[in-house]
A and B are shown apart, each in its own frame.
Chain A
Amino acid sequence: MWGINDPSIYLGYLLAVLSLLLCVWYGAKNWNNGRETDEQEIREDEAWELKDEQLKEQL
């Protein structure tokens, strides 16, 4: 098929496509999931990010 005779090459391409589809499926399914909702956690995350930015800026 498609000019290739070795099944292990087919399998490689097939698994690459399946891995791609897994990523697309997972990303699409969870596109809006995982956002921080807890006020306390958001504040902690912001404090971490602020420090990280400051460290980068100093560097």
Chain B
Amino acid sequence: MNTFSLGLVVITYLLVIAYLGYVGFKNTKTANDYLLGGREIHPFVMAISYGATFISTSAIIGFGGVAGVYGMGLIWLTVLNIFIGVFIAFVFFGRRTRKMGHNLDAHTFPEFLGNRFQSKKIQMFSGGIIFLAMPLYAAVVLVGGARFIESIFEIDFSIALTFFSLVIAAYVIAGGLKGVMYTDALQGGIMFLSLFFLLAMTYFKLGGVSGAHEALTNMANLVPEPLQAKGHQGWTAFPRMGSAWWWVLTTNIILGVGIGVLAQPQLVVRFMTVKSNRELNRAVLIGGIFIFVVTGFIYTVGALSNLYFFQQTGKLAIEVGQGNVDLIIPEYLNAAMPEWFVYLFMLALLSAGMSTLSSQFHTMGTAIGRDLFENLFRGKTLNSMLISRIGIVVAILVSIVIGYNLPIGIVARGTAIFFGICAAAFLPAYFGGLYWKGATRAGAQWSMLAGLLGSAFMLAMVHQSEAAPLGICQAIFGKDFLIDQFPWMIIDPIMIALPLSTLVMIGVSMMTQKVEPKHLDVCLKGIR
């Protein structure tokens, strides 16, 4: 570690952040000033901050590392990230969500669902799910940042996690930077350019595009025997169809995260805060390019890191990471890239993590205060804002505690678990609420319950990776997981829980009382 170059990069970065914070602060002082000062959010800022919210440390460290193990097959996640996470999300969900959210005076995702189906129960239930499940996601974003610090500064993981957690807590409790829009754009911009540099340098060091790919293809015989037996065919090939490795990659990593992004509470809220559909249209272009570069490039680099490490050390990426997937990308950057670049990348990555975590903690805070407690104690004098603030502090503490106790290599899996729960519990009700006049309150309630219970059952009883360490199935049935017939124990819970909640949504809606046409008119006002 070179203290001088680190100091120089950090000081320059902080000065720019402070300047942008000052510009933002000068432009927006109060809510009223906000309107007077012009509500124009540049589409670049909108798209980058949306992108940064679901990319952050999780995609770079977690899924980039997964590419170091599974190889270039991860590019299919980029396909879904762009096609579903940007195109479908903005065009088919974003526009309607924005208009309907405004029509229903909804300011959080649970409030949106609750008002759409005229059910406080739905709002409270959704708030509860978010408050209980989201700390896992926040924890893995924290762990992602901490792994980077651990690797770059060669310090103990718990010290890195403590340091990063303290910075995050101070940032969130102070209310986040006033000029967060501008700093988000800066982080996104640095990240975007860094990925170009990273990919170009990687190919340059490894003998060009074709040369690097060919050399990596030729390493297929180096795949460890047990992984070959599971279907791993090398880092430039998709796993053998129907093999264990194939099921894990397609269902746990690609589909779980690719689909789950549609029902992310903190992302849905972003649709409501844009000024018009024009901003959403523009964000499709910018977001598409951003996600392509950030995810597509890091997954490619993750796979190629095997070649670099093998040439330099004779080891595979996962061996260099000492069995920890989450250390592959930090170790690669540290080993292969110039020092100034590593520091700059680290700052952009940690700041992106900070803004992601900030929005996660605010989502959890409003979920417990505004969505759950305000409705639970209706009519009683209760300061829901205070509860929200306490909720934020509790969420931060719980996330940190979870972060300390998670097993290694958890960032991508933790993200996938949370995305899966959200998709199963919320997606059918959310989609039905947007597009299906026949969707009923009871349909939404039962669908959410089925999605949550389905996910919980699959995680605790069927899906080996969680069921075995949780030990619930062992305690009740005396075995690690319920169905030991391949491939049930490795299929992602979303593959069962989402179809289940969808069927329940359709079935119950068809049998129960329809929503009043008058309310539907309110919901759909101005939606063309």
Residues of A within 8 A of B (CB): 2-6, 8-9, 12-13, 15-17, 19-20, 22-24, 26-28, 30-36, 38, 41, 44-46, 48-59
Tell me if B296 and A16 are in contact (CB < 8 A): yes
Tell me if A9 and B276 are in contact (CB < 8 A): no
18 contacts between A and B (CB under 8 A): A2-B213, A3-B211, A3-B214, A6-B236, A8-B73, A9-B73, A9-B237, A12-B72, A20-B292, A23-B284, A30-B278, A33-B277, A34-B279, A34-B281, A51-B107, A59-B362, A59-B365, A59-B388
Tell me if B278 and A23 are in contact (CB < 8 A): no
- Which chain A residues border B272 with CB–CB below 8 Å? 48, 52
Q: Which of B80-88, B146-154, B437-445, B472-480 binds A?
A: B80-88
CB distance from A47 to the nearest CB of B (A): 9
| Binary interface encoding of chain B residues 39-55 relative to chain A, with 1 for a CB under 8 A from any of its CBs, else 0 | 10000000000000000
Q: Does B158 contact A (CB under 8 A)?
A: no
Contact for B385 among A3, A4, A27, A58, CB less than 8 A: A58
- Which chain B residues border A15 with CB–CB below 8 Å? 76, 79, 83
CB distance from B527 to the nearest CB of A (A): 11
In the complex, A15 Cα to B370 Cα: how many Å?
41
Q: A9-B236, A9-B237, A20-B82 are in contact. List 16 more A-B contacts (CB 8 A).
A: A3-B212, A5-B237, A12-B72, A12-B78, A16-B296, A20-B289, A22-B83, A22-B87, A23-B284, A23-B288, A26-B91, A28-B285, A33-B277, A38-B526, A50-B32, A59-B362
In the complex, A57 Cα to B217 Cα: how many Å?
54
Contact for B280 among A12, A19, A34, A45, CB less than 8 A: A34
In the complex, A58 Cα to B369 Cα: how many Å?
12
Tell me if B284 and A26 are in contact (CB < 8 A): yes
Main secondary structure of the interface of A (DSSP, over half): helix
- Which chain B residues border A36 with CB–CB below 8 Å? 275-276
Asked, given contacts A5-B237, A8-B238, A23-B288, whether A49 binds B389 with beta carbons under 8 Å apart, the answer is: no
Tell me if A16 and B217 are in contact (CB < 8 A): no
Q: Does B253 contact A (CB under 8 A)?
A: no
- Which chain A residues border B213 with CB–CB below 8 Å? 2-4
Tell me if B217 and A5 are in contact (CB < 8 A): yes
- Which chain A residues border B39 with CB–CB below 8 Å? 46, 49
- Which chain A residues border B233 with CB–CB below 8 Å? 6
- Which chain B residues border A12 with CB–CB below 8 Å? 72-73, 75-76, 78-79, 238
Asked, given contacts A20-B289, A49-B35, whether A9 binds B277 with beta carbons under 8 Å apart, the answer is: no
Tell me if A31 and B281 are in contact (CB < 8 A): yes
CB distance from B408 to the nearest CB of A (A): 28
For B212, B283, B288, which residue has the most chain A Cβ atoms within 10 angstroms? B288
Contact for A2 among B32, B105, B209, CB less than 8 A: B209
Asked, given contacts A12-B73, A23-B86, whether A5 binds B285 with beta carbons under 8 Å apart, the answer is: no
Closest to B239 in A: A8
CB distance from A16 to the nearest CB of B (A): 5
- Which chain A residues border B370 with CB–CB below 8 Å? 55
- Which chain A residues border B214 with CB–CB below 8 Å? 3
Tell me if A27 and B284 are in contact (CB < 8 A): yes
Main secondary structure of the interface of B (DSSP, over half): helix
Tell me if A48 and B102 are in contact (CB < 8 A): yes
Q: Does B282 contact A (CB under 8 A)?
A: yes
Q: Does B330 contact A (CB under 8 A)?
A: no
Q: Which of B259-303 contact A (CB under 8 A)?
A: 272-273, 275-289, 292, 296
Tell me if A57 and B281 are in contact (CB < 8 A): no
In the complex, A5 Cα to B79 Cα: how many Å?
20
Asked, given contacts A27-B281, A48-B102, whether A13 binds B75 with beta carbons under 8 Å apart, the answer is: yes
Q: Which of B60-77 contact A (CB under 8 A)?
A: 72-73, 75-76
In the complex, A54 Cα to B211 Cα: how many Å?
57
- Which chain B residues border A16 with CB–CB below 8 Å? 75, 78-79, 82, 292, 296
- Which chain A residues border B401 with CB–CB below 8 Å? none
Tell me if A23 and B385 are in contact (CB < 8 A): no
- Which chain B residues border A31 with CB–CB below 8 Å? 278, 281-282, 285
In the complex, A33 Cα to B388 Cα: how many Å?
38
| Binary interface encoding of chain B residues 104-118 relative to chain A, with 1 for a CB under 8 A from any of its CBs, else 0 | 010100000000000
In the complex, A2 Cα to B133 Cα: how many Å?
43
| Binary interface encoding of chain B residues 17-51 relative to chain A, with 1 for a CB under 8 A from any of its CBs, else 0 | 00000000000001110110001000000000000
For A3, A45, A48, A58, which residue has the most chain B Cβ atoms within 10 angstroms? A3
Closest to B39 in A: A49
In the complex, A59 Cα to B374 Cα: how many Å?
14
Tell me if A57 and B30 are in contact (CB < 8 A): yes
Tell me if B87 and A23 are in contact (CB < 8 A): yes
In the complex, A19 Cα to B285 Cα: how many Å?
11
Q: Does B210 contact A (CB under 8 A)?
A: yes
- Which chain A residues border B273 with CB–CB below 8 Å? 49, 52
Tell me if B107 and A26 are in contact (CB < 8 A): no
CB distance from A45 to the nearest CB of B (A): 6
Q: Does B126 contact A (CB under 8 A)?
A: no
Contact for A44 among B102, B209, B388, CB less than 8 A: B102
In the complex, A15 Cα to B388 Cα: how many Å?
43
Asked, given contacts A16-B82, A16-B292, A35-B276, whether A27 binds B282 with beta carbons under 8 Å apart, the answer is: yes
In the complex, A20 Cα to B286 Cα: how many Å?
10
Q: Does B138 contact A (CB under 8 A)?
A: no
